[in-house]
Amino acid sequence: MKKHTELEKLKGIGEVLSQRLVESSYNTIAKVAAAEEKGLEKIAGMNSQKAHSIVTQARKMTGEAEKSQHTWSKDRGHR
């Protein structure tokens, strides 16, 4: 059962830490992006620097994913 591959795209997250994230209900990159860093720091093996790093990465990934799905920004002003 290897559902953690999505989380392992985050630099600094390996199999063990991705398992701990999933067990703490952070089972998608979107959930990590929405997480409070203080909450992530409670997970074993996570420190404030790593929590900040993965939240920043996840927010960039989800932000880029959202931008690629929306065309409204291109359509502005064409009325």
Domain annotation covers residue 33: yes
Domain annotation covers residue 74: no
Domain annotation covers residue 51: yes
For the chain, what percentages of helix, strand and coil (3-state, to nearest 5) are there?
60, 0, 40
42, 26 Cβ separation under 8 angstroms: no
Q: What is the pLDDT of residues 12-58, one digit of tens each?
A: 999 999 999 999 999 999 999 999 999 999 999 999 999 999 999 99
Domain annotation covers residue 19: yes
Structural domain total, the chain: 1
Domain annotation covers residue 15: yes
**For residue 64, what pLDDT is reported?**
79
Q: What is the CATH number of the domain that holds 53?
A: 1.10.150.20
Kindly provide the b/e burial profile for residues 36-68, where b requires at least 16 CB atoms within 10 angstroms of the residue's own CB.
Answer: ebeebeebeebeeebbebbbebbbebbeeeeee
Answer whether residue 1 shows pLDDT above 50: no
Q: Which domain holds residue 56?
A: 7-66
Domain annotation covers residue 72: no
The alpha carbons of the chain give a radius of gyration, in whole angstroms, of: 15
